[in-house]
Amino acid sequence: MAERAAPIRTWLAIACAAIFALHADASWAREEIRIVGSSTVFPFSTAVAERFGRKTSFKTPIVESTGSGGGLKLFCSGTGVSTPDITNSSRRIKASEVELCAANGVDDIIEIRIGFDGIVLANAKSAGRLQLTKEQIFRALAKDLPVNGELAANPHKTWRDIDASLPAQRIEVLGPPPTSGTRDAFVELAMEGGAKAIPMLAALREKDKKAFKAVAHAIREDGAYVEAGENDNLIVQKLEANPKALGIFGFSFLDQNADRLRGSRVGGVE
Per DSSP, the residues of 44-98 read HHHHHHHHHHHHSSSPPPEE----HHHHHHHHTT-SSTTS-SEEEESSPPPHHHH
Inter-residue contact 41 to 69 (CB < 8 Å): no
Would 17-116 and 119-266 be classified into the same CATH topology?
Answer: yes
Q: Is the dihedral of CA 162, 165, 167, 173 positive or negative?
A: negative
Cα 40 from Cα 252, distance rounded (Å): 8
Chain center to CA of 159: 22
pLDDT attached to residue 215: 98
Buried b (16+ CB within 10 A) or exposed e, 233-258: eebbeebbebeebbbbbbbbbbeebe
pLDDT of 156 reads 98
Pairing outcome for strands 265-266 and 131-132: parallel
The residue type of 95 is A
User: Which pLDDT value is given to residue 253?
Assistant: 86
- Residues 171, 157 contacting (CB under 8 angstroms): yes
CATH match for 119-266 among 3.40.50.1240, 3.40.50.970, 3.40.190.10, 3.90.79.10: 3.40.190.10
Confidence at residue 269, expressed as pLDDT on a 0 to 100 scale: 59
Q: Which residues in the chain land under pLDDT 50?
A: 1-17
CATH number 3.40.190.10 is the correct assignment for the domain at 17-116: yes
Report CA 179 to chain centroid distance, whole Å: 9
| Cα–Cα dist 90/243, whole Å | 27
Closest CA to 85 of 97, 95, 94, 76: 76
For the chain, domain boundaries: 17-116, 119-266
